[in-house]
Structure 1
Amino acid sequence: MYDKLLTVSDAARMLGISASTLRRLEENGEVKTFGLKVVYTPGGQRRYLADEIQRIYAQVGFAGKIGFGQRAAVLVRDVTHAFLDVGSTLAISTPLDKIALHRLLTQAGDHQLPRIFTKTIYRADHEFSRLWGKKFPSLTVLKDDSYLNQIDDALADIPFDRCQETCYISDLHHDDLMGYLASQGIDTLILAGATASGSIRATAIEAFQQGMHVILPREVIGDRSKSLLDFTLLDLNARYADVLNVEDVLAWMAEK
């Protein structure tokens, strides 16, 4: 029944309080200050309903809707063997609906909307790449010609309009991507891929700051745990983007 549950630390971070304060405010299975129910796992750990925290956000002025602009591009990040193959040290552990992503990209192509693919690349001669590799050593396997950095088979037949490599966290840190989007009349970015808490989040925030409408179809975004995915999408929806179902995005495209 409760398919979107947050941990104590995630819920506390969302509410702007400490985890210990959140625990202390609990009384008879409810955090009365916020009107927030507490759900206990079979192991006795506290969990909180993401939908209720979303309601709290809305009450204090977050989580408005920005909607779509006039013309969109679909930007896919790191749907590669490294992030999708079971057994890879970088693999996400949440479902990413490859069929839905293929449908999304196919329909975008049918409506002449640009489709962009970005993969993370590690370069030992790149200053930031070395720095990121020190913080996240698993990234060092992402060499340009490695099997792990090849596009996932599910998207192999998609003729992307632009394929790019980046050593950076945000796709928009690429030298000329914003210029390309401007040349195509793009004011809306539909983001997909991995990971929600990493590159997707960084790109969403930077795109929003550049004046873009940012759309996140939840079924085609993954992360390394369900709680991390739910927390990140909840926070992005509250502050910088609209989190929608894939069917809602497809319906918008169909109307264009």
Structure 2
Amino acid sequence: MSFEAGGYGEIGIGWGKRPAVIVVDFQLAFTDPAYPLGQSSHIHAAVERTSALLAFARANSVPVATCRTAWCGEKDMILWKASAVRDGMFHGDRPTEMDPRIHDAAYDVNFVKAAPSIFFGTPLVSYLNKAQVDTVIVTGCTTSGCVRASIIDCFSYGFRTIVPEDCVGDMGLEAHRANLLDVGRRYADVVDAETCMAEIRKLTAS
């Protein structure tokens, strides 16, 4: 039996009336080539595309929430299997800083998280509800890890979930494509940044 035969992906999510953009872990640990996790050209391209989307969103008064991963120490660090995630990721370490191409401290709301999803253990849902958001555009890294976890939580909280493929990145294209294919069958509409900007433009005009 195929996914198609089971009806996966037949129904689109669509857009509501009030979108927001969330950015998962575009911090220096993942975007600066000086660090082991920051050497993916695919993530670098996603940062540049997300930067353009965010500039457009802010210019149209769309809420933006970003996050970064950091811990106080070994005691509160969860049991990651990737050694590079465990090193240099404590509060105050440079890899925990947001990439300046992404973060606008005067506009964005920024959360610190300790688990994969931007929703887990943060006030994100309260922030989105306060802003009357019904549609969430998910960007960031990595597609197969923290982005996927955030997509599933976004869907689970009842938000219309939109994923611009060119605004999420991973260590490898195979993992990126496979996970987008799967979440596109189940939880989200997978589009591109240009589509997101066009929808924001229409919603702003209306």
State yes or no: 1:139 paired with 2:88.
no
Identity %: 28
Question: Are the equivalent residues in 2 in contact too, given 1:119–1:166 (CA < 8 A)?
Answer: yes
Question: Are the equivalent residues in 1 in contact too, given 2:67–2:113 (CA < 8 A)?
Answer: yes
Change (3 A) 1:202 1:153: same
Question: Are the equivalent residues in 1 in contact too, given 2:26–2:47 (CA < 8 A)?
Answer: no
Q: Which has more radius of gyration?
A: 1
Report what 2:38 is aligned to.
91
In structure 2, distance between residues paired with 1:149 and 1:175: 16
State yes or no: 1:209 paired with 2:156.
yes
Quote the offset at 1:161 in angstroms.
2.6
Q: TM-score, normalised by structure 1?
A: 0.72
Question: What is the aligned counterpart of 1:78 among 3, 25, 33?
Answer: 25
Report what 2:115 is aligned to.
168
Deviates more, 1:139-148 or 1:220-229: 139-148
- What is the total number of aligned residue pairs between the two structures? 199
One-letter code aligned to 1:255: K
Q: Which runs of 5+ in 1 are unaligned?
A: 1-14, 16-55
With CA pairs under 8 Å and 6+ residues apart, which has the higher RCO, 1 or 2?
Answer: 2
Alignment RMSD: 1.9
Question: Are the equivalent residues in 2 in contact too, given 1:92–1:223 (CA < 8 A)?
Answer: no
Matches within 5 A, 1:147-186: 147-157=94-104, 159-186=106-133
One-letter code aligned to 1:251: A
Question: What is the aligned counterpart of 1:248 among 195, 198, 204?
Answer: 195
Q: TM-score, normalised by structure 2?
A: 0.88
Q: In structure 1, the residue corresponding to 2:23 is in which secondary structure?
A: strand
Question: Are the equivalent residues in 2 in contact too, given 1:170–1:200 (CA < 8 A)?
Answer: yes
Quote the offset at 1:122 in angstroms.
2.5
Q: In structure 2, the residue corresponding to 1:90 is in which secondary structure?
A: helix
One-letter code aligned to 2:115: Y
Matches within 5 A, 1:1-256: 57-63=3-9, 64-91=11-38, 93=40, 94-95=42-43, 96-124=45-73, 126-127=75-76, 129-132=77-80, 135-140=81-86, 141-157=88-104, 159-256=106-203
